[in-house]
Amino acid sequence: MPLAAAIALALFAWPGYANATHVDIPDMTSKKGGVYLVMPMLDPEAGKKLFVDKGCVACHAINGVGGHDAPALDAHEMQGFMNPFEFAAKMWNHAPGMIAAQEYALGEQITLNGEELGNLIAFVHSDEVQHGFSEADLTDKARKMMAHEHGGAPAPKAHEEEIGHHHDAPGGKPHGH
């Protein structure tokens, strides 16, 4: 049985999993039981808080809110189904540049555990939760992180050509919600 089918079966067909904090997927290739894969239940609201608190917002924008040194992460711009392992692989493949940028902008490397990474991935891919993300979600610490050096120009001016849509900003482009 493909992993995706096993996950869907676990989430929607097995009794007692509606309120689970994780799902154990048995190794379908082993007749002896073998290894179990644990899939955490992802929380996009917790991911939204992490996006700000961990400093992702210093370089990435959502709804035009955040930094513009790295790609915007607007869920409405993404298509179809999302494989969280592919997203994690993209982060891994860009790790050297991301770490250098984090150390420059934040003074240290961001660290994440598996649950935090899962929740960040859930937020980045949740158009519903992102729809409510605004300047009001930014903490003073996040605003300070976003103010890293841009050659004397404010970040939006320094990265004018790269900025994605602005949800409620004057002159912004709505995305049809």
Q: What share of the chain is helix, strand, coil (3-state, %, to 5)?
A: 45, 10, 45
d(CA 10, CA 81): 18
Measured in whole angstroms, the distance separating CA 68 from the mean position of its chain's CA atoms is 15
Mean pLDDT of 107-134: 94
pTM of the model: 0.67
pLDDT value at residue 122? 94
- Helix (H) or strand (E) segment spanning residue 12: helix 3-12
pLDDT value at residue 19? 46
Strands 36-40 and 22-26: antiparallel
Q: Which residues contact 59 (CB under 8 A, 6 or more apart)?
A: 66, 67, 68, 69, 70, 101, 102, 105
- Residue pLDDT, tens place only, 70-114: 999 999 998 878 888 898 999 999 999 999 988 888 889 999 999
Instruction: Please choose, from the candidates 177, 73, 68, the residue with its C-alpha nearest in 3D space to the C-alpha of residue 125.
Output: 73
Positive/negative CA dihedral, 36, 41, 44, 45 = negative
**Size of the chain, expressed as the number of residues it contains:** 177
pLDDT at 173 over 70: no
Strand ranges, E, within the chain: 22-26, 36-40, 61-62, 65-66
Query: What is the four-CA torsion angle of 40, 44, 47, 52, rounded to 10 degrees?
Result: 180
d(CA 27, CA 16): 20
d(CA 123, CA 119): 6
**Residue 67 and residue 146 in contact, taking contact as beta carbons nearer than 8 Å:** yes
Q: Mean pLDDT in the chain?
A: 76
**Residue 25 and residue 3 in contact, taking contact as beta carbons nearer than 8 Å:** yes
